[in-house]
Amino acid sequence: MDYIDFIHLNILEKKVLNNSEVSVQYLCSKPCIVNLEAVASSEFRTGVPVYRRRWKDEKNLYVSRTRQVHLKFPSIMVYRDDYIIRNSIIVHSVILYAWISHKSVSSYDVEQNEDYQDAVAKNYTFLETVPPFERPYKDHKVCLQWGADYLWMLQANRIPQCPHESDGVQILNFIYASSGEKTGIVKKFEQFENRELETVRQHRIDYPMFTVSIWLYLLHHCEKDLCGILYFIDPKEMYSTPAVFLNEEGYVHIQMHLMRGDDLAVKTSFSLPLKQWFRLDLSFKGGQIEVSSVGKNLKRHHHQSFTFREDFYYDDTAGYFVLGGSVYVNGIEAFFGPVKYYRLNVLETEQISNPLHDKETVEQIELYYERCMDIQEIAYEYRYIVRQGEKAQRNCYYENYYLELIHEYGEKSKCDGFMWGKELREKYHTLFKLLQEMDFSAPDVLEDGSNTVLEVGRRIFEKVAKGLSSADGLSNMGSSVPLLMDSSCCGYHKASYFLAVIFETGLGVSVDRTKGLLYSLVGAQGNERLAVMNLGYKHYQGINNYPLDLELSYAYYSNIAIKTSLDQHTIKGEQAFVETVRLMDDELLKSQTKENGDVFMWLKHEATRGNAAAQQRLAQMLFWGQQGVAKNPEAAIEWYAKGAIETEDPVLIYDYAIVLFKGQGVKKNTKLALELMKKAAAKGLPQAVNGLGWYYHNFKRDYRKAAKHWLIAEELGNPDASYNLGVLYLDGIYPGVPGRNQTVAARYFYKAAQGGHIEGTLRCSLYYITGDMEDFPRDPEKAVIWAKHIAEKNGYLGHVIRKALNAYLELSWHEALLHYVLAAETGIEVSQSNLAHICEERPDLARKYLATDCVWRYYNFSVSQVNAPSFAYLKMGDFYYYGYQNQSKDLELSVRMYAQAALEGDSQGFFNLALVIEEGNSIPSYILDHLEIDQALRSSNMSLLQELYYRCWNNSNQESISPCSLALLYFYMRVFWNNILQSALIYFMGTFLLSVLVAFAVQYFQSLSARNSPGTRSEPSSDEPSSSGNSNEDATRLVQQDESTFSNDLAQQGSNPQHPLVMS
């Protein structure tokens, strides 16, 4: 019988560990030598033998033998750094070779390569390396000398150690409502701080190994081409590995960038499900791609593999990731759940740790869309039945004149005989009742089904909004909420935002944060501007149980910022200019007007007389809907035309030229517009010079002339010109400059943004969120602030603010409260402080209809803003100082609020800080540093008080007597008297001089009395002082009493403050 030599390796734990046990099973047909050798590769060397073991077997022939071997590796491979092991190494791979050779003992010295090649049987296995930061410390079993031990104790914590860092990145933790727009979440990966992980990452640029897991609730497949799910943008603004999209049929489109420079794409054979939560898992391992679809129960629905022989290029730090939409592609219409990215690991579905956290909200989203399917079906079918009945009746009307009159002027058609079952009618009885009241013969109800349902939603909302805005409207909130839910289900998402605010603030109902979040997400997904801003604000501040997430906040704010730019070019819709009108400003409130108001009528009178300033202001008010005037572009254009022709005012000429160029509310007339633009430019108007450049760029494609005019306008300080020059450099069409120059373009955009240019600000915010531009280091917070600034100029938000202000001026308290709450929850500061003011003015209304503490909540929101007014800081300072209702006192926060008001230039802030010291409290040193108060002035309270009172006086109106000037005068008087009373010599001299003065005064009056009555001697009255000494004692006693009283008052105020820190 012939025996074949063999050798097998069996390792229980395939890791590079010291003393690892290996089971070697072998058979020798002749006397043999069994060899084991471990070869390691590191960053600097490859193929280094780190372990060898050999043994002879001459007797046990033709018998299978098993031998246990304990592997021994160098300490620097298996232990962490310590006092003795100073430089442990990063091992990339370890291969354990085993072979049998039929040679004599003398062959022990033969090289491994030759011996392994000549082996009669051989085998090998890979061992998994352990990163240094995961290795154990070695027990050296030595006793260090006292000095060495002491040095080790001193340096133990200073030994450089790799930070504990994971390759798993949680890209998204919270639900994100993606509306399918060109905006999304931008994430940028940095290099690993851990040098071992970073080395591994760099070695895998041509052999990617990563896994991504994305939870999705998909509403629709992509409308056209591709929609973004998750993709990487490189510095050249090209897609790189990975790029995952959704196509029109619902299949997943995966694109990779190859090492040779071109791209490769594949498409899954399965489509993603609609209106159910699922997890999409993708893993890349070299040229192999695994795609899986997993349900809520974590059971796999679909799986597909792709294998390529191409080398993919993958560098996740050379660019940025986008979740959803961007300037390059629209996003998907969906809700994103948690998204987890493993940068260096390929994981199976069961190994991925990416749970769906907020299960209550997840279930609420599912229930919402299930219910809405019923609502939409009922609305569509009801309207269809009514319209079919009307068509049948209309055929008879053509033959009967009287029936036609009845149809035109009589009661409108409605459906009394329902085709729906009793259970469904009872479930949606409110909706059926409302449908019966609607007129479906109106021309604005289109034949298209989706538009029909949306129109039903709009009518329901308008009916409810009208009721809530009535004199006692908020008392009907309970009956309004079901109707708003129906309107939201019909796709009218103004109702969704109403519901979000109602449930979050407890406006007429109990607070329900889960429903508030649900309708905020639904409204944002449906592109309701105020709902999107609400989510952006909550994630920016991290309030109301919304996690602080600047990238998520930017995704929402940038959406509305882009819309703001587009909305301003659309004269239709419920828009108004966003004005900062504070309810505490009486002068500004008096300037608000309407078409029949005194201010408007006076402006109209002056404009009719040919006053250019009046014509310009009147046209602006009508065109943008400013100062309380309803938007009326047609009337505005008439005033622009009248002013341009009659007054020769360059601004009016320019405005009318722009209107003619764009055809806004008037027929386009390029020839006349150009003549007017040249006329205004000749008068030196910077925006007109820019307008000429715009004309040559858009109409003539003459970039040289365009650049020439824009350079002139830019020197005159026109931000539009700066932006336009940036566009020329960005598009690579600047005359005489070859190719694109993004760096120069970005500088021009920044200059435009500094001048308030909307598109320039948007560009800069994008640079800050991506961090890909040289002069714009990544700063998500700055990106959010800039995008928020533009979003808060949106005309639809301005319309809500204007409705709130008009209601306040008309003393319609319910309507004012409702609309100010709607505006305040979007994060706009002026509405927050105005709402707090209303709640102070009408506390009964706030207590009755708001479940939240209105004053505390909205002043708190206000001071958290970048542009918070000083009076809000003062309010919050008083609340913290004295305590507010159920809020506890906090002296340090109070002082911080007063200090912030002081830094805003408010004299009241300095005054309150001084009174805090007067009442026996101290101000923390870091606040004094913030106020830039010199260290020398902090040695005593008197010098600190003097500085604070002086700054108070310096920041107040110095031309009139103010509380600050009185406080400073009183302080100097106290210092003067303190100095007098502290000096014995001055005290004695003062007493003496006062005695002499009193004696002289008595003698003078006696002589004067004697001259007036020559024949009569005057007797001194018994109640007058009989000597100057007594008068002096009384005066001294009064001074001492005043000083004592002042000291006692200070002590009492310090222990029990009774007066608010405000000036009269």
Indicate whether 837 pLDDT > 90. Answer: yes
Helix (H, G, I), strand (E, B) or coil at 334: strand
pLDDT at position 619, please? 76
Indicate whether 1012 pLDDT > 70. Answer: no
Query: Which residue would you say has higher pLDDT here, 167 or 19?
Result: 167
**Per-residue DSSP letters for 796-812?**
HHHHHHHHHHHHHHTT-
Indicate whether 478 pLDDT > 60. Answer: yes
Find out whether 185 and 171 touch, Cβ atoms under 8 Å. Answer: yes
Q: Which of 398-407, 436-445, 817-826 has the lowest mean pLDDT?
A: 398-407
Q: Which of 146-160, 670-684, 809-823, 964-978 has the lowest mean pLDDT?
A: 146-160
Q: What percent of the chain has pLDDT over 90?
A: 48
Query: Which residue would you say has higher pLDDT here, 977 or 65?
Result: 65
pLDDT at position 171, please? 95
* pLDDT-derived band at 1023, boundaries 50, 70, 90: very low
Average pLDDT, stretch 733-743?
A: 91
Which of the 8 DSSP states describes residue 507?
A: B
Residue 1014's Cβ-side half-sphere holds a number of Cα atoms within 13 Å equal to 0
Indicate whether 945 pLDDT > 70. Answer: yes
Closest CA to 513 of 498, 503, 523: 503
Indicate whether 163 pLDDT > 70. Answer: no
**Per-residue DSSP letters for 980-1036?**
HHT-HHHHHHHHHHHHHHHHHHHHHHHHHHHHH-TT-PPPPPTTS-SSHHHHHHHHH
**Which residues contact residue 9 at a Cβ distance below 8 angstroms, ignoring those fewer than 6 apart?**
22, 23, 24, 96, 98, 123, 124, 125
* pLDDT-derived band at 365, boundaries 50, 70, 90: very high
* pLDDT-derived band at 1000, boundaries 50, 70, 90: low
Distance CA 1020, CA 660 (A): 97
Distance CA 847, CA 51 (A): 80
Average pLDDT, stretch 574-602?
A: 81
Distance CA 775, CA 784 (A): 18
Q: Which of 285-289, 574-578, 815-819, 1017-1021 has the lowest mean pLDDT?
A: 1017-1021
Q: What percent of the chain has pLDDT over 70?
A: 83
Indicate whether 893 pLDDT > 90. Answer: yes
Query: Which residue would you say has higher pLDDT here, 333 or 17?
Result: 333
Which tokens sit at 105? 């003992």
pLDDT at position 1041, please? 38
pLDDT tens digits, one per residue of 523-574? 999 999 999 999 999 999 999 889 999 999 999 999 999 999 888 877 677 8
pLDDT tens digits, one per residue of 457-467? 998 999 999 99
pLDDT at position 206, please? 87
Find out whether 517 and 531 touch, Cβ atoms under 8 Å. Answer: no
Query: Which residue would you say has higher pLDDT here, 983 or 1043?
Result: 983
**Which residues contact residue 583 at a Cβ distance below 8 angstroms, ignoring those fewer than 6 apart?**
589, 808, 834, 837, 838
Residue 913's Cβ-side half-sphere holds a number of Cα atoms within 13 Å equal to 33
Distance CA 270, CA 413 (A): 48
Find out whether 657 and 680 touch, Cβ atoms under 8 Å. Answer: yes
Which tokens sit at 125? 């296995």
pLDDT at position 505, please? 94
Indicate whether 1 pLDDT > 90. Answer: no
Find out whether 33 and 108 touch, Cβ atoms under 8 Å. Answer: yes
* pLDDT-derived band at 1040, boundaries 50, 70, 90: very low
Average pLDDT, stretch 207-234?
A: 94
**Runs of H (alpha helix) within 411-549:** 422-427, 429-437, 449-468, 477-489, 494-505, 513-525, 529-541
**Which residues contact residue 363 at a Cβ distance below 8 angstroms, ignoring those fewer than 6 apart?**
none
* pLDDT-derived band at 1059, boundaries 50, 70, 90: very low
Token pair 């006793």 in the structure block, residue? 143
pLDDT at position 660, please? 84
Find out whether 690 and 709 touch, Cβ atoms under 8 Å. Answer: yes
Q: Give me the chain's average pLDDT, please.
A: 83
Q: Is the peptide bond before 136 cis (omega within 30 degrees of 0)?
A: no
Indicate whether 655 pLDDT > 90. Answer: no
Query: Which residue would you say has higher pLDDT here, 848 or 382?
Result: 848
Distance CA 272, CA 50 (A): 51
Residue positions counted in the chain: 1064
Average pLDDT, stretch 52-81?
A: 89
Q: Mean pLDDT highest for which of 104-118, 410-424, 664-678, 755-769?
A: 755-769
pLDDT tens digits, one per residue of 802-826? 999 989 988 999 999 999 999 999 9
Cα torsion angle, 799, 802, 806, 812, sign: positive
Q: At what angle do helices 494-505 and 477-489 cross, to 10 degrees?
A: 140
Cα torsion angle, 909, 912, 918, 924, sign: negative
Which of the 8 DSSP states describes residue 13?
A: S
pLDDT at position 384, please? 74
* C-beta pairs of 357-361 under 8 Å, 24+ apart in sequence: 357/173, 358/174, 358/175, 360/514, 361/175, 361/514, 361/517, 361/518, 361/521
Average pLDDT, stretch 1014-1022?
A: 35
* pLDDT-derived band at 409, boundaries 50, 70, 90: low
Strand duo 320-324 + 184-187: pairing: antiparallel
Which of the 8 DSSP states describes residue 1?
A: -
Indicate whether 323 pLDDT > 80. Answer: yes
Average pLDDT, stretch 700-705?
A: 92
* pLDDT-derived band at 1038, boundaries 50, 70, 90: very low
At 734, phi and psi to the nearest 5? -70, 130
CA dihedral 681, 684, 685, 688 (to 10 degrees): 20
Q: Mean pLDDT highest for which of 313-322, 444-453, 911-920?
A: 313-322
Q: Which of 7-11, 251-255, 651-655 has the lowest mean pLDDT?
A: 651-655
Find out whether 903 and 912 touch, Cβ atoms under 8 Å. Answer: no
Closest CA to 797 of 455, 541, 555, 537: 537
Which tokens sit at 972? 């100097």
**Burial zone of 1045 (CB within 10 Å; 0-12 exposed, 13-18 middle, 19+ buried):** exposed
- Give the number of other CB atoms < 10 A from CB of residue 923: 23
* pLDDT-derived band at 446, boundaries 50, 70, 90: very low
pLDDT at position 601, please? 78
**Which residues contact residue 671 at a Cβ distance below 8 angstroms, ignoring those fewer than 6 apart?**
none
**Per-residue DSSP letters for 573-623?**
SS--------TT-HHHHHT---TTSHHHHHHHHHHHTT-HHHHHHHHHHHH
Which tokens sit at 485? 């839910």
Indicate whether 234 pLDDT > 90. Answer: yes
